[in-house]
Chain A
Amino acid sequence: MDQAQGAGAGSGFAGRLTFADYHGETFYDEFFDQSGQPRDGVRTLVDRINTLPDGDLLHRQQAIELSLMRMGITFAVYGDQQGSEKIFPFDIVPRIVSAFEWAHVEAGLKQRIKALNLFINDVYHDQQIINDGVVPRSLLEDATSYRPECHGLTPPRGVWCHITGTDLIRHSDGAIYVLEDNLRCPSGVSYVLQNRQVMKRSFPHIFAEMQVRPVVDYPIRLYETLRSLAPDTASPNVVVLTPGIYNSAYYEHSFLAQQMGVELVEGRDLVVKDGFVYMRTTRGHERVHVIYRRIDDDFIDPLCFRKDSVLGVPGLMDAYRNGRVALANAPGTGVADDKVIYAFVPEMIRYYLDEEPILPNVPTYICDREEDQKYVLDHLSELVVKPSNESGGYGMLVGPHSTVEQQAEFAQRIRKHPRNYIAQPTLALSRVPTICDGQFEGRHVDLRPYILYGNDLWVLPGGLTRVALRKGSLVVNSSQGGGSKDTWVIAADQSQLQTQAVDELDHTPSGKLR
């Protein structure tokens, strides 16, 4: 068996893993406070780990890695020399969130997604927020994922982002901030579900003991969210549309389709005929009502967006426009993925909901604004500068880790295209103990909870904790050496430990593809 990759697969360290020598340093540590005491809700786990026999935790870590390898939970790393599959590295020590804290986060997320949705709907209709001068028109029109083709479209109930993954971080001041919203094709939830599954096998009793909220009903909630997009159909045919096996998130597309019990299709399996969408089956054409599409807007329909796309379905947007098929997420949501638009989300919350934001943004300098640009150029060595339209953690400047030459290069870029850059203070991300070469060391984490918006808003308890495995690194993206941990949200009461029963789901054979 191949040596599995990940933290803790180090050379036969047989000694004891305890927290006795663990230091938080100046960062906020999720497990221990400044005096070294375990935080609320963490003590049970800490005590358990401290009393495990020698080598036991490492052994469990390795067993989990083997499980993940065997299950084939891999992803392809673009740009990696071997271009091969790797398991997404996993560390056995979970991140723990108290019930009290989660209630705050959940309320903040619901508020935020509600406002974002209203914004996107507004942007593609009357643009009141722009006419009222809250968001400058030029910023909107320069957002690369702004899709004029989506003007006037009316998805059911005015909901555009059915599935959102919002990235949160905790700074050294102990507060939780929103880093960014991902409302095109956010991924990672399959790791959340699989991580939980392997953790439960490893620590079967601790979940009940610590009252950890379950995540197992995500697929059913997702299915119901998707079904709600075709309210006039008794048994809508829901499918997941994937670019195919060479996409880095393919495993997740396949996993979610399987968990929901729906077909996984590629563009070439679908055809638009007489205005309706069909899939090619061994018995001819079958109608499709709802598509959970994991293909970016650009590639989804060569007749509407990029002409050279072979991944999409010609005529899909027409069918969508005429209400003959539902798409989740709706095309056009990428406008809010833009980091400059992100900076205005607190304003959106005030404008649409007349409320103060529960979860704050990270303070953001918009280089397009004259005074912001001046500040940024004067403080490049202290700030993190990001392109407003890319994802994946490439092409940023991390001020404190950069050379004078790199800063000069970025200064030039900023002056040339100020609209394309934002800057934020360097954040001191919180840390969670992680097994590194047989010891516990703190590693920086972020958190991506998932929010579904069907008939109402629902937030998955927990989400994906991504961890920067390289010492000192702040970059948690899977494509650049990050890994993940399980996330445990403690239940506030018994009702939060229940999962949704399979009740009103339609089981009639007519709707299910045979």
Chain B
Amino acid sequence: MLSRVADAVLWMARYVERAENLARFIDVTLNLQIDLPRPGAEQWAPLISATRGEAAFKKRYGGAVSERNVIEFLTFDRENPNSIISVLHAARENARSIRETISSEAWEQLNAFYHFVRNANPDDVHRSPGDFYQAIKNHSHLFNGVSDGTMSHGEGWHFLNVGRRLERADKTSRILDVKYFTLLPNVSDVGSPVDDLQWSAVLRSVSGFEMFRKRYHLITVERVVDFLVLDREFPRAIQHCLIQANISLHKISGSTPGAYVNPAEQLLGRLQSDLAYRDVRSIIDQGLHEFVDSLQTQLNQLGDAITQTFFDPQPAS
């Protein structure tokens, strides 16, 4: 397929996934707020840094971190390139340039998703935010379902899948990273009763609470990390996302899984197999934050490799 089109499909998928994850981010903070009321800034500030919005936020709101400001900033602020409305706009612009590649149903659903946020009344959102962010998740689910159900699972769909999975892996790692620090200001807090409520909130924000319970029953920090990072079956777990992205990457090139024919496959293969043979103890010993940092760096390198391999190919000699 056209390089430009493959690039646009991948980024469309990344942006939609990003919008959903922003909603989840905000959602988990809202839930933690209910269970563990603390001064607003403490709860909400980490969201700004996690989305790399410190400079833009400061410019717009000065130093005033509050629930209202952060929600406004991350949802409706058009000057923030990482707000929900901005990324949906970007998703839609990408989709618009490739309408003949995605199905018309997928386009219409993305269009409806964008207009839903665009037409939302911020005051209504502040009044009942839970409903709003749930609706965003639903729109994303619908887009995923429609695109999976109506696009042929050929090269175009595989690029979509790669974009979606890599974005999801990245954002799940950020949710984990930010919340780990918010919830555990002291090492001595590990294992305390207050953990349960807080980690439940994190699990619920990735819609994984029930699946977690099925597998592990009782909550401990190690188990939560094990689930969110290393689980092979849960759709939002990092390992699962990388496995699926890897499969799609191989389908694109037609190469044998387990070997590599281009730099992107090589990088992803190494990343995924590293995770496949790790245990959670080694992650915690390394330091969760260091682990997440390293993962994100490798994901960035992978993104570059994908661009180099497929979107900017050297002409055939």
Contact = CB atoms under 8 A, between A and B. Distances in A.
Interface of A: 1-2, 70-72, 244-245, 254-255, 257-258, 263-266, 268-269, 271, 273, 279-285, 513-514
Contact of B108 (A72, A257, A269): A72
Most buried by A among B2, B3, B112: B2
A282 B252 contact: yes
B25 interface: no
B153 interface: no
Given A1-B119, A282-B252, A263 B316 contact: no
Given A263-B2, A281-B2, A254 B99 contact: yes
Contacts of B99: 72, 254-255, 258
B228 to A, nearest CB: 32
Contacts of B100: 254-255, 257-258, 263-264
Chain B residues touching A, range: 20 to 34
B119 A284 contact: no
Interface string B187-204: 000000000000000000
B313 A284 contact: yes
Given A258-B100, A273-B315, A72 B4 contact: no
B6 to A, nearest CB: 5
B316 A269 contact: no
Interface in B80-103: 93, 96-97, 99-100
Nearest to B96: A245
A285 B111 contact: no
Residue among B93, B252, B315 having the largest count of chain A Cβ atoms under 10 Å: B315
A70 B106 CA distance: 11
B315 A70 contact: no
Given A2-B115, A72-B111, A281 B97 contact: no
Contacts of A283: 313
Contacts of A281: 1-3
A284 B1 CA distance: 9
A355 to B, nearest CB: 41
A284 B315 contact: yes
Given A71-B108, A257-B100, A282 B316 contact: no
Contacts of B4: 266, 268-269, 280
Given A273-B315, A514-B155, 15 more contacts: A70-B111, A71-B104, A72-B96, A72-B99, A72-B107, A244-B97, A255-B99, A266-B4, A269-B2, A280-B313, A281-B2, A282-B252, A284-B315, A284-B316, A513-B1
B145 to A, nearest CB: 17
A255 to B, nearest CB: 8
A283 B1 CA distance: 8
B117 to A, nearest CB: 13
Interface of B: 1-6, 93, 96-97, 99-100, 104, 107-108, 111-112, 115, 119, 154-155, 252, 310-311, 313, 315-316
Contacts of A254: 99-100
Contacts, number: 66
B97 A2 contact: no
Contacts of A72: 96, 99, 107-108, 111
Given A70-B112, A285-B315, A245 B2 contact: no
Contacts of A284: 313, 315-316
Given A254-B99, A254-B100, A269 B112 contact: no
A283 B4 CA distance: 12
5 contacts: A72-B99, A263-B100, A273-B315, A281-B3, A514-B154
B206 to A, nearest CB: 31
Contacts of B5: 263
Nearest to A70: B108
A105 B135 CA distance: 53
A280 B1 CA distance: 8
Nearest to A286: B2
Contacts of B2: 263, 265, 269, 279-282
A268 B316 CA distance: 17
Given A244-B97, A258-B100, A514-B155, A1 B315 contact: no
Contacts of A282: 1-3, 6, 155, 252, 310-311, 313
A281 to B, nearest CB: 6
Contacts of A2: 115, 119
Contacts of B112: 70
Contacts of A1: 115, 119
A281 B161 CA distance: 19
A286 to B, nearest CB: 9
Contacts of A280: 2-4, 313
**A273, A281, A513 — which one has the most chain B CB atoms within 10 A of its CB?**
A281
A254 B100 CA distance: 6
Contact of B93 (A245, A258, A279, A514): A245
A361 to B, nearest CB: 38
B156 to A, nearest CB: 10
A266 B93 CA distance: 16
A390 B42 CA distance: 63
Nearest to A266: B4
Contacts of B6: 282
Interface centre among B4, B104, B154 (most CB of A within 10 A): B4
Contacts of A71: 104, 108
Contacts of B104: 71, 258
A190 to B, nearest CB: 12
A265 B154 CA distance: 19
Nearest to B99: A254
B91 to A, nearest CB: 13
Nearest to B114: A72
Contacts of B315: 271, 273, 284-285
Nearest to A239: B2
A457 to B, nearest CB: 28
A72 B99 CA distance: 10
A271 B99 CA distance: 23
Contacts of A266: 4
B316 A245 contact: no
A257 B100 CA distance: 7
Contacts of A269: 2-4
B185 to A, nearest CB: 46
A165 to B, nearest CB: 22
Which 7 interchain pairs have the tightest Cβ spacing?
A258-B100, A282-B310, A284-B316, A257-B100, A254-B99, A245-B97, A280-B3
B225 to A, nearest CB: 36
A285 to B, nearest CB: 5
A282 B115 CA distance: 32
